[in-house]
Amino acid sequence: MSTNNNKLTTSWGAPVGDNQNSMTAGSRGPTLLQDVHLLEKLAHFNRERVPERVVHAKGAGAHGYFEVTNDVTKYTKAKFLSKVGKKTPLFIRFSTVAGENGSADTVRDPRGFAVKFYTEDGNYDIVGNNTPVFFIRDAIKFPDFIHTQKRHPATHLKNPDAVWDFWSLSPESLHQVTILMSDRGIPATFRHMNGYGSHTFKWVNSDGDGVWIKYHFKTEQGVKNLAVDVATKLAGENPDYHTEDLYNAIEKGDFPAWKLYVQIMPLEDADTYRFDPFDVTKVWSQKDYPLMEVGRMVLNKNPENYFAEVEQATFSPGTLVPGVDVSPDKMLQGRLFAYHDAHRYRVGANHQLLPINRAKNEVNNYQRDGQMRFDNNGGGSVYYEPNSYEGPTESPEDKQAAYSVSGVADSVAYDHNDHYTQAGDLYRLLSAEEKTRLIQNIVAAMKPVTKEEIKLRQITHFYKADPEYGTRIAEGLGLPVPQLV
């Protein structure tokens, strides 16, 4: 008789008598369908991988906390920011954007920077990147953009023609392309890069007064990047370099930290600022709207199980708390739907109930049923609203603040189409050595493009940002600067 008190069981809790030999008809088989442990084991194994994320497929995560270091109650009623010294637990996921789950960490790509704050008013997600801008500014273009970053449907290879064709036909991408092709395009580690909320959000205080804001996470480790040759070497020798670095740093007690700052813009400035403040391809000048410190984020605990905590973590810029509202940013407006919808497809309708995603405060609503519902599903409590049975009701004081809208319902672009000033300003800020590396990176990326028309069209954009910028790219590609510029 077994004295083992740590018995292996099936998924339904029954002890397993033999986990080394399947049940067969005699020693040579065949295998019997009645071996329910074997069937369950194989069936579960076939389903161990949820669909990988369409974007940000590969990533690493960590737990930590956020501590308020500056009084911002003048601007927002968000409870997790309500007093200096207040600490809020959080989880963060860093990622690459375009590559698959098995891709290398050190490729040239933006890095996702997604933070989930477990506040007493529910979860709050800041879902951004390590760059303050993005390639496009309207969500309707997002599926097409990501298609260009993925694989050709016939060759199943990355396709430089698609990448540069799309960018050259979408001049709003120029600012982000310049950042991506600069030294910042390959961070040294996840710890040595900044993070940005990228979009414009609105903070609202307890009196209902609002301001527009942008988030900036500044790394305390300093910004460091990888040279192209080092990154390429690491991609082959240690494709999980960034994942390993983050885990090891936390494991040995070298806890990475970031300071969180915001830029604050009065609501009325949005109508007169020289760039559209809701255009995610643009930044706000820090001379116009200086950074104001909010708090400090520290990562001090590694996940205990990668799948449960990192792979199943779900983030959305629509995961909001009272005191934080959205803006008319067209890219943000699309993400408010797309991110939650992606999680419902990828992880399940009840993804918010998983431990890594579940709010720390009590969740009260009338959502019921759905796949993988593993709490008590509301028990026998009232399941509709309004009702006469003292079920949870809305709290008007927590509504998002109103803002006026006007215009004709139509498919329209942003009013502002200066895609060149900020990209040119960025180019001119670079040192001579940084400019040279930027040019070299762009030339190397564009050389495989087979259509000269695409190259010339993109050179035009570089030239409009800065004549030297465009001329040096043209020379590197052995092409003339197009006459129209």
Residues constituting the chain: 485
Q: Kindly state the DSSP code that residue 15 receives in the 8-state scheme.
A: B
CA distance 104 to 200: 31
CA distance 361 to 231: 43
* Measured CA angle at 459 (ends 456, 462), to 5 deg: 160
What lies within 8 Å, CB to CB, of 206 at 6+ separation is: 73, 77
CA distance 479 to 456: 8
Contacts 24+ apart (CB under 8 A), 157-165: 160/445, 160/446, 160/448, 160/449, 161/448, 161/449, 161/450, 161/451, 161/454, 163/445, 164/445, 164/446, 164/449, 164/454, 164/455, 164/458, 165/449, 165/451, 165/454
Q: What is the CB neighbour count within 10 angstroms for residue 304?
A: 8
CA 444 to chain centre: 27
Q: Which H or E run includes 300?
A: strand 291-301
Active site residues: 56, 129
CA distance 261 to 31: 63
CA distance 133 to 475: 28
* CB half-sphere exposure, 217, CA atoms < 13 A: 29
Measured N-to-C along each axis, helices 174-181 and 421-429 cross at an angle, to the nearest 10 degrees, of 20
Amino acid at 291: L
* CB half-sphere exposure, 49, CA atoms < 13 A: 7
CA distance 131 to 187: 11
